[in-house]
A = this chain, B = another copy of it.
Amino acid sequence: MDVTIIGTGLMARGIGSRVLAGGHDLTVVGKDAQRAEDAAGELAGGGNVRSAAAGDPLNGDVVVLAVYYPDARGAVEQYRDQLSGKVVVDITNPLNETFDGLVVPPDGSAAQELAKLAGDARVVKAFNTTFAGTLAAGEVAGQPLDVLIAGDDEEAKATVAQLARDGGLNPVDVGPLARARELEALGLLHITLQGPLGTEFGSAVKLIS
């Protein structure tokens, strides 16, 4: 697959490393062309990666919005026409300024808000409960990360699940896009526990049985 990640931060690099580990092609897009080049350079040892600047045509069939929620909204607005028909992955946890609540409607989710903005894009929620460092490592405590995936387009979800699986992760389909509400609640919970547990964004939420 040909995957584009919008964003150059830790989550972009973490997800990018899994995309490359799975043998897929990656384009990193940054508002700042130099930062995109730096991120691509850092990932270059892992596979076929290039950088692009904001405004360049978007490559491929999968676009990951690896930026904070306000910037994800901005990216969807900027690229709306190009996103039509593509699989668009929302990874955001739409935290408020005090990091103890979410800014989206309480009966909704960032994913649903982005889907409303995104027109014909096939929005999938994923990777919002996995931290950047654990994605870069590909595992926690020797166990593959669970990647919880919500979406209304079955084929789009299967594509994201395949990307996760190819990268050594364990995809879990949690249902329709509306379930992103619960995924974002879990993301918030997981983030708020980092201080008290002292896990420094190195923990993972795992379903065991």
Q: Which of B174, B188, B193, B197 contacts A189 (CB 8 A)?
A: B174
Q: Does A204 reach chain B (CB closer than 8 Å)?
A: yes
Within 8 A of B (CB), among A137-153: 140-141, 143, 148
Copies of this chain in the oligomer: 2
Chain B residues contacting A190 (CB-CB under 8 Å) are: 207
Q: Size of chain A's interface in residues, with CB distance under 8 A? A: 33
CB atoms of A181 and B172 under 8 A apart? no
Q: How far is the CA of A173 from the CA of B195 in the complex (A)?
A: 11
Chain B residues contacting A192 (CB-CB under 8 Å) are: 174-175, 179
Chain B residues contacting A196 (CB-CB under 8 Å) are: 173-175
Within 8 A of B (CB), among A116-152: 140-141, 143, 148
CB proximity of A99 to chain B, nearest CB, Å: 12
Chain B residues contacting A207 (CB-CB under 8 Å) are: 190, 193, 197, 199, 203-206
CB proximity of A52 to chain B, nearest CB, Å: 35
Q: Does A97 reach chain B (CB closer than 8 Å)?
A: no
CB atoms of B188 and A182 under 8 A apart? yes
Chain B residues contacting A179 (CB-CB under 8 Å) are: 189, 192
CB proximity of A170 to chain B, nearest CB, Å: 11
CB proximity of A85 to chain B, nearest CB, Å: 27
Q: 3 tightest CB-CB pairs across the interface, nearest first?
A: A185-B185, A106-B107, A203-B209
